Amino acid sequence: MSFTTAEPSLLALPAAAAGSRRATLHALLHNRTAWIGGGVLLLIIFAAAFAPWIVPYDPYRVDPIVRLQPPSLAHLFGTDALGRDIFSRIVYGTRLFLLICAIAASIAASIGVTLGLLAGSGPAWLDMLIMRLIDVLLAFPYILLVLAVIAILGPSLWTAMVAVGIAGIPGYARLVRAEVLSVRSLEYVEAMRAAGAGVWRIRLGTILPNVVSPLIVYGTFATPLAVLAAAALSFLGLGAQPPAAEWGAMLVNARTLMFTAWWTVAAPGMAIFVAILSLNLLGNALRDVLDPRSR
Amino acid sequence: MTCSTRGAAEPLLRIEALRTEFPTNAGPVRAVDGLDLTIGSGEILGLVGESGCGKTVTALSVLGLVDRPGRVTGGAIRFGETDLLALPPARMAAIRGERIAMIFQQPRGSLNPVMRIGSQIAEQFIRRRALGRAEAWARAVALLRAVGIPAPESGARAYPHEISGGQAQRVMIAIALALEPQLLIADEPTTALDVTVQAQVLALLRERCRTLGTALMLVTHDLGVVAQLADRVTVMYAGHAVETAPVASLFARPMHPYTQGLLAAIPRPGENRERLAEIPGSVALATQTGCRFAARCAERTRLHLDRCENEMPPLVPRPDGGMVRCWAAQS
Amino acid sequence: MSTYILRRLLLTVPVVIGILFTTFLIKAAIPSDAVVTMYQGQLSEQDASKAIAIMRHKYGLDRPWYMQFLSYTEGVLTGNLGQSIRTRQPVIKEIGYRYRNTLELTFAAFLVALTVGVVSGVVAAYFKDTWLDITSMTVSLFGISMPAFFFGLVLIMVVSVWLRWLPVIENGWQGLILPALTLGLIEAAPLARVARSSMVEALGRDYIRAARAKGMPESVVVLRHALPNALLSIVTLAGLQIGSLFGGAFIIEVIFSWHGIGELAVEAIQWRDFTITQGVILISATTYVLINLVVDILYTWIDPRIVVDKS
């Protein structure tokens, strides 16, 4: 698990006209990685939506008699230390996975994009101020920032999501700011300003549409990092708390159990891996389609 | 290895029926299609043609530097006694720089941006002549002086982005001629330079090559450049040679309609024309069996020649030296 | 060039102040939690609130916030980071040797990541589009998607149980191998990708063709002509990776019981020991800023064009 600030190099893509939007969709549908990544993701969404109907057992039901059973026909992924069916918990874990993705991305994107927009298109002092703020956020290695927020807010699933969201702000902010700066000097923006268009009209009407595709691509790379961090937090007991069926939390006792009950470790770990992989594959496909130069 | 007789009996480089192809979705494209060309020792040959006629690919083919997936698919390139196309890669690498060198169109792009200029020259001496650092550096400075770089000691320590395009090309010439090769191939060496600098660089090229006795294959689309420098000229069209002749003879009495068209297209001072003369049509893909120029040829129409489209004319000698490949010219 | 360094140094000042303030915030948040945790169930309602008041006064928490911040800053500058709420030991002492351990782990992992990443990236670029390229890029994609802690667990299982090679937990350099490998291999993945793409770009440039035209052997072309040009992107990423490694080390330390500040920090957060948390985060963030500074200065040395273009 690593966090790397993606260079805001996915820049200056022309605003998609209706025709090229169709073209991108077409290219996407023909991309194999897109299918694999997107397919798994759809599977996850499906599992999350229909979880109560898919699972054979109640994921929270404790049954000490069948604790630590290896995978069998009765329990596809075996049972954990409290006798709960791991498969059911994995399936329910998809919900939390999607929740974390959504919240973390929303917080990071909404605040980050706004900041970036303001910094890039507002007065110079505002730019300075915002960039200093971003610099402070960036002064902390990703995990450290997350831990710091958890330390302030106390450990729980929600604070974990907020922490991861906050840690994601600088990435979005810088991306949007760079994009805004490059678009700002384009002639048609000058023309709009000369014609008297209001600042916000320019911002939302011209600048924002240009940013959408690089944002989406960036999002598909930044969100997996956020989810990995959230899972790591749960693993350390600083995120989702038991008995939540969160994949990271399911690994809390992994170190002690892994020698005797490997399935308790393998299933949640692989679930995280596969989910993240699908996001990354989708991100790769999107990037190939939207910006093939960077291949 | 000095040579006072230019174009001596045994040619230095002889290209025979060269074919270089690039695979595309629509089938292989023959950038070079049956090219014959010779260069004598110490001679300056101008290889002329419009964009897309295959002259750059020819140059790259000689040195085995054609970008994948393109490759040479036929013919022979004889350098002295050796057929370059039959050489294993290691032996070809040994020939590059040492016996055949090349300079390219974009001088600054051809220099490594993070290496000092002196190092890029000295590298040749260190690796190919086993010289020590200090001596290699000294030689590099001397070479820079020979190509006219002012203050060569400090110039050698500069980085490529710190010098101008003209200076960069001078440096390229220094690098190329460092090991005193027998043949230098120059691919549009002045096209990317300012007009004022072009003449200087060309003069430098001629001076250096004459001094060292190096033959020069000057690839260009500019007939003016050819007129200034070349001893002989080969005119290329659609991947093969259509006329070759001593320079004065070519300009005085061009025999191939394409050559005639090229020369007529040069605006002359004192002329007053409504439109610039041009050769109608554009280069066709190599698909026909006959002369590639047939579709655009005014002579063919004028003389009502039908063989042009079906039969490729052979190279036949011209009255005042050289060869030409044209049915109309023979009649 | 020295003006550039000076300017960078000056820029770090507001950042460091920001770090100080953020870490300060940690303590300002509900300190009574620590007291509650300590005396859980042992005091009556009344006694508990009295104990909390005493604690608050002891830690100076009943003063206005800017006063607290000032004295905190003062303390930091004199090397006093407070006392651990849990053990009453000075924070500096608790951090002590652990800091070096974490640095060791970070550095070792960095070496692994750099070697594996750059080598596989360069090889993949040179053999572009062959099975070698495709395999290494697929593996690196896996690496990016793999949670480090899961990978660590898997490595432990594989190495210790199946292969019975290394002892699972041990300090000293032998105990460093597994955690360094875990962290290093995962971080090698993004490096490999960037190394590959920047090498591919460098190899496509005109000066590479010119170098080949000079008759330079392939090894020289790749290593002495292409690689130095690709290095800029690689170093950029590597510099960022160090921070990531630093953070990743925190979690790896817990898994392998490597006694570094990461292990300490996690414990401290679990136990609501704010002063320790503060101290660790302060020191880590400052270290990170310093590392970034060094990396920035390293750039100017690597790419001569940067000093010229810097505006």
pLDDT tens string B146-182:
998 889 999 899 999 899 888 999 999 999 999 999 9
Q: Which domain holds residue C183?
A: 97-272
> What integer pLDDT is reported at residue B272 of this predicted model?
67
Least CB-CB distance to B128: which of C209, C211, C215?
C215
Chain A residues within an 8 Å CB radius of C114 = none
Q: Which domain holds residue A36?
A: 32-294
CA of residue A95 relative to chain centroid, distance? 14
Please check whether residue C207 touches B, CB under 8 A: yes
> What integer pLDDT is reported at residue C311 of this predicted model?
32
> What integer pLDDT is reported at residue C246 of this predicted model?
82
Given a cut of 90, is residue A166 above it in pLDDT?
A: yes
Q: What H or E segment, with its residue span, contains residue A58?
A: none
Mutate to test the interface with B, among C205, C209, C214, C224 (most CBs of B within 10 A): C214
The CATH homologous superfamily for domain B14-114+159-268+276-330 is P-loop containing nucleotide triphosphate hydrolases (3.40.50.300)
ipTM of the complex: 0.84
Contact C285 A144 (CB under 8 A): yes
Whether the full predicted model's pTM is greater than 0.80, yes or no, is no
User: From the CB of residue C211, how many other CB atoms can be counted at a distance below 10 Å?
Assistant: 28
Chain A residues within an 8 Å CB radius of C289 = 139
Q: Is B321 helix (H, G, I), strand (E, B) or coil?
A: coil
Least CB-CB distance to A277: which of C142, C161, C246?
C142
Given a cut of 50, is residue A15 above it in pLDDT?
A: no
Q: The CATH number of the domain where A62 resides is what?
A: 1.10.3720.10
Average pLDDT rounded to a whole number, residues C1-25: 74
Given a cut of 70, is residue B319 above it in pLDDT?
A: yes
Give the model's confidence band at C124: pLDDT under 50 very low, under 70 low, under 90 confident, else very high: very high
Contact status, residue C17 vs residue C279, Cβ threshold 8 Å = no
Mutate to test the interface with C, among B98, B114, B129, B187 (most CBs of C within 10 A): B114
Chain A residues within an 8 Å CB radius of C139 = none
Least CB-CB distance to B65: which of C212, C217, C308?
C212
> What integer pLDDT is reported at residue A188 of this predicted model?
65
Q: Which residues are bridge partners to B237 per DSSP?
A: B240
**CA dist B259 to A39, B119, B231, B253, B307, Å?**
62, 43, 17, 10, 20
Average pLDDT rounded to a whole number, residues B115-128: 91
Q: Residue B237: is it exposed, middle or buried by C-beta count within 10 angstroms (0-12/13-18/19+)?
A: buried
Among C176, C159, C145, CA closest to C256: C176
> What integer pLDDT is reported at residue C165 of this predicted model?
62
Average pLDDT rounded to a whole number, residues B285-301: 71
> What integer pLDDT is reported at residue C305 of this predicted model?
59
> What integer pLDDT is reported at residue C36 of this predicted model?
58
Contact status, residue C176 vs residue C218, Cβ threshold 8 Å = no
Give the model's confidence band at B4: pLDDT under 50 very low, under 70 low, under 90 confident, else very high: very low
Task: Give per-residue pLDDT as tens, A200-214.
Answer: 676 677 777 777 878
> Strands B323-324 and B316-317: what pairing?
antiparallel
Higher-confidence residue: A212 or A198? Answer: A212
Helix, strand, coil in percent for chain B, rounding step 5:
35, 20, 40
Sheet holding B71-79, edge to edge: B27-39, B13-24, B71-79, B82-83
Please check whether residue C228 touches B, CB under 8 A: yes
Contact status, residue C216 vs residue C225, Cβ threshold 8 Å = yes
Higher-confidence residue: A294 or A91? Answer: A91
Given a cut of 80, is residue C86 above it in pLDDT?
A: no
Whose structure tokens read 């013919």?
B75
**Range 207-266 of B in CB contact (< 8 A) with C:** none
Q: Would A256 be classed as within a structural domain?
A: yes
Higher-confidence residue: B39 or C288? Answer: B39
Q: Do chains A and C touch (3 or more CB pairs under 8 A)?
A: yes
Distance from CA of A111 to the nearest CA of C (A): 19
> What integer pLDDT is reported at residue B61 of this predicted model?
92
Among C187, C149, C186, C281, CA closest to A235: C149
Share of chain C above pLDDT 70, in %: 79
Give the model's confidence band at A18: pLDDT under 50 very low, under 70 low, under 90 confident, else very high: very low
The conformation of residue A16, written as its DSSP 8-state character, comes to: P
Given a cut of 90, is residue C207 above it in pLDDT?
A: yes
**Pairs of residues, one from chain B and one from chain C, whose beta carbons lie less than 8 Å apart:** 67
> What integer pLDDT is reported at residue B315 of this predicted model?
81
Least CB-CB distance to A236: which of C14, C145, C266?
C266
Q: At a CB cut-off of 8 Å and minimum separation 6, what does B258 contact?
A: B235, B237, B242, B243, B279, B293, B297
Given a cut of 50, is residue A12 above it in pLDDT?
A: no
Share of chain C above pLDDT 90, in %: 12
Please check whether residue C161 touches A, CB under 8 A: yes
> Considering chain C, what is the average pLDDT of its residues?
79
Average pLDDT rounded to a whole number, residues C11-33: 69
**Assigned token pair, C198:** 């920047």
Q: Would C218 be classed as within a structural domain?
A: yes
Average pLDDT rounded to a whole number, residues C108-118: 93
> What integer pLDDT is reported at residue C173 of this predicted model?
64
Distance from CA of A64 to the nearest CA of C (A): 25
When mean pLDDT is compared across A71-85, A159-173, B137-151, the lowest value belongs to A71-85
Given a cut of 50, is residue A216 above it in pLDDT?
A: yes
Give the model's confidence band at C250: pLDDT under 50 very low, under 70 low, under 90 confident, else very high: confident
Least CB-CB distance to C215: which of B93, B111, B161?
B93
User: From the CB of residue C282, how many other CB atoms can be counted at a distance below 10 Å?
Assistant: 23
Contact C213 B65 (CB under 8 A): yes
Average pLDDT rounded to a whole number, residues C60-85: 71
Please check whether residue B175 touches C, CB under 8 A: yes
Share of chain A above pLDDT 70, in %: 86
Contact B101 C205 (CB under 8 A): no
Contact status, residue A134 vs residue A173, Cβ threshold 8 Å = yes
Average pLDDT rounded to a whole number, residues B53-79: 88
Taking the C-alpha atoms of residue B119 and residue A106, their distance in angstroms, rounded to an integer, is 53
Chain A residues within an 8 Å CB radius of C198 = none
Average pLDDT rounded to a whole number, residues C20-36: 63
Given a cut of 80, is residue C42 above it in pLDDT?
A: no
Q: What is the total count of domains within chain A? A: 1
Give the model's confidence band at A11: pLDDT under 50 very low, under 70 low, under 90 confident, else very high: very low
Chain C residues within an 8 Å CB radius of B111 = 207, 210
Q: Would A85 be classed as within a structural domain?
A: yes
For A119, how many CA atoms within 13 A lie in the half-sphere containing its CB? 23
Average pLDDT rounded to a whole number, residues B246-256: 88
Q: Is A31 helix (H, G, I), strand (E, B) or coil?
A: coil
> What integer pLDDT is reported at residue C303 of this predicted model?
61
Q: Would A12 be classed as within a structural domain?
A: no
Task: Give per-residue pLDDT as tens, A246-281.
Answer: 888 888 877 788 878 888 888 899 999 999 999 988
Task: Give per-residue pLDDT as tens, B189-235.
Answer: 988 888 888 888 999 999 988 999 999 999 998 888 888 889 999 99
Given a cut of 90, is residue A169 above it in pLDDT?
A: yes
Partners for C (CB, 8 Å, 3+ pairs)?
Answer: A, B
> What integer pLDDT is reported at residue A241 of this predicted model?
82
User: In terms of CA atoms, which chain C residue is nearest residue B67?
Assistant: C209
Q: Which residues are bridge partners to B77 per DSSP?
A: B15
**Pairs of residues, one from chain A and one from chain C, whose beta carbons lie less than 8 Å apart:** 163
When mean pLDDT is compared across A162-176, A280-294, B51-65, C103-117, the lowest value belongs to A280-294
> What integer pLDDT is reported at residue A199 of this predicted model?
67
Distance from CA of C90 to the nearest CA of A (A): 19
Average pLDDT rounded to a whole number, residues B65-83: 87
Amino acid at C177: I
Taking the C-alpha atoms of residue C31 and residue C275, their distance in angstroms, rounded to an integer, is 10
Given a cut of 50, is residue A10 above it in pLDDT?
A: no
Q: What is the total count of domains within chain C? A: 1
Give the model's confidence band at B278: pLDDT under 50 very low, under 70 low, under 90 confident, else very high: low
Taking the C-alpha atoms of residue A231 and residue A237, their distance in angstroms, rounded to an integer, is 10
| H-state helical runs in B15-164 | 55-63, 89-95, 117-128, 133-146, 152-157
Q: Do chains B and A touch (3 or more CB pairs under 8 A)?
A: no
Given a cut of 70, is residue C110 above it in pLDDT?
A: yes
**Assigned token pair, B261:** 């068209």
Average pLDDT rounded to a whole number, residues B279-302: 69
> What integer pLDDT is reported at residue C27 of this predicted model?
65
Q: At a CB cut-off of 8 Å and minimum separation 6, what does B287 contact?
A: none
Higher-confidence residue: A283 or C311? Answer: A283
For A34, how many CA atoms within 13 A lie in the half-sphere containing its CB? 15
> What integer pLDDT is reported at residue A112 of this predicted model?
92
**Assigned token pair, C110:** 């960095």
> What integer pLDDT is reported at residue A13 of this predicted model?
36
Higher-confidence residue: C24 or C172? Answer: C24
Task: Give per-residue pLDDT as tens, A73-96.
Answer: 888 888 888 888 888 889 999 999
Give the model's confidence band at C38: pLDDT under 50 very low, under 70 low, under 90 confident, else very high: low
Chain C residues within an 8 Å CB radius of B177 = none
Q: Is A232 helix (H, G, I), strand (E, B) or coil?
A: helix
**Assigned token pair, A224:** 């997996």
Taking the C-alpha atoms of residue A156 and residue C18, their distance in angstroms, rounded to an integer, is 25
Contact A273 C145 (CB under 8 A): yes
Q: The CATH number of the domain where C187 resides is what?
A: 1.10.3720.10
Contact status, residue B140 vs residue B175, Cβ threshold 8 Å = no
The conformation of residue C44, written as its DSSP 8-state character, comes to: -
> Strands B323-324 and B232-237: what pairing?
unpaired
Please check whether residue C137 touches A, CB under 8 A: no
Least CB-CB distance to A136: which of C18, C147, C237?
C18
User: In terms of CA atoms, which chain A residue is nearest residue C30?
Assistant: A152
Mutate to test the interface with C, among B112, B123, B157, B179 (most CBs of C within 10 A): B112
